[in-house]
Amino acid sequence: MPQHLARRALLAAAALAGPARPTLAQPEGWPARPVRIVVPFTPGGSNDAIARPLAERLQARLGQPFPVENRPGAGSAVGVQAVAQSPPDGQTLLLTTSSVAAIGAVQGTGFDPTAELAMVALLARAPLVVLTSPASPIASIAALLEADRARPGRVTYASSGPGSTTHIATALFNLRAGTQLQHIPYRGTAGALTDLVAGRVDVMFTTIASAAGPIRDGLLRVIAQTGPERVPGSPPAPTVREAGIDYDAGIWWGLFAPRGLPPALRARLNGVVNDALLAPDFARVLTGEGAIPAPLAPAACDAFLAAETRSLREVVAAAHIRAD
């Protein structure tokens, strides 16, 4: 990303964080031991790409290790529920994607993370990219539409699991484009990308961070971006909207704690995380992954999560998305 654009993004993010910075006075005795960050997905995806650098910076600021633990399963519900059921003492945190807002509707189990977790900080936002194998004849959104018309219901798309961000984003594309792309769920992003590279699945909507290696090595081709406009520094590709489809999808990453976290501790964590997000070194980590820092104050986090939950659940209902 050009330097002036990176500065502009950081200034905008700082404005969103609110006019007053929460107090950074440390609640007495915290953290007195390592603080666990649970990532409810398999290693190697975009969550790891953000969680591990963030953990390093939190350790530097707070003086305790922040080990990252991958706990995948049930479309991320296993790790999410483990954190929700932990004591609200600041010792167990969750770093996950926007899919957390849809779990309650997708799983149908009565477990609603948005009621049992508190968003400590919004970390970053990013569009997705639409990927195909370089050997595939699907080299553009127009070609994808043509393939779907020629073989309705037989063009396949990979996701990192039922109800995941990649699943919901592609289901939304089906709704907006009138296509019948067939869902092939995987247990995480790595297996999905492997089969996409091998041509065993036709297309995937995912993050730049998740697919950075195969894209860089020429093993995957970016045919489109899913945001409303092209993102500076991302792989050169038009937006889906430029292909004439009224479509806008993306992903965000958030840091959560069990509901009931003391307000002073939530404010402390929020302030330290926001400081890390706005530091130039971590901002470069995010922009290098195609994401933009998006710090918010605690009250703004609550409003943001409520709005995203409504929006994502509308897609889940319209597309009849359910966990297998």
| pLDDT tens column, 241-286 | 999 999 999 999 999 999 999 999 999 999 999 999 999 999 888 8
Q: Is the pLDDT of residue 16 over 80?
A: no
The answer to whether 95 touches 47, Cβ cutoff 8 Å, is yes
Supply the pLDDT for residue 180: 97
Supply the pLDDT for residue 29: 78
Asked whether the whole model's pTM tops 0.75, one would answer yes
What radius of gyration do the chain's Cα atoms show? 19
| pLDDT tens column, 24-76 | 344 667 999 999 999 998 887 778 889 999 999 999 999 999 999 999 887 78
Q: What average pLDDT does range 157-176 have in this prediction? A: 93
Q: What average pLDDT does range 77-101 have in this prediction? A: 94
The answer to whether 123 touches 293, Cβ cutoff 8 Å, is yes
Supply the pLDDT for residue 109: 66
Supply the pLDDT for residue 7: 40
* Residue linked to tokens 């707070």: 62
In the DSSP assignment, the letter for residue 116 is H
Supply the pLDDT for residue 14: 41
Cβ partners under 8 Å of residue 119, min gap 6: 254, 255, 256, 298, 301, 302, 304, 305
- If pLDDT is split at 50, 70 and 90, which confidence band does 1 have? very low
Share of the chain above pLDDT 70, in %: 90
Q: Is the pLDDT of residue 104 over 90?
A: no
Helix (H) and strand (E) counts for the chain?
12, 11
Q: Give 310 or 2, the one with higher predicted confidence.
A: 310
Q: Using CA atoms, how far apart are residues 102 and 92, in angstroms rounded to an integer?
A: 22
Cis preceding-peptide flag for 152 (omega within 30 of 0): no
Q: The dihedral of CA 261, 263, 264, 268: what is its sign?
A: positive
Q: Using CA atoms, how far apart are residues 243 and 226, in angstroms rounded to an integer?
A: 11
137, with CB counted inside 10 A (0-12, 13-18, 19+), is exposed
Q: What are phi and psi of 220, to 5 degrees?
A: -135, 150
Cβ neighbours around 73 below 10 Å, total: 17
| pLDDT tens column, 200-251 | 999 999 988 788 899 999 999 999 999 988 776 677 899 999 999 999 999 9
Cβ partners under 8 Å of residue 165, min gap 6: 97, 98, 99, 128, 251
Q: Is the pLDDT of residue 141 over 80?
A: yes
Q: Is the pLDDT of residue 20 over 60?
A: no
What type of residue sits at position 81? Q
Q: Is the pLDDT of residue 15 over 70?
A: no
Q: What strand order describes the sheet that includes 203-206? A: 182-185, 156-159, 203-206, 129-132, 221-225
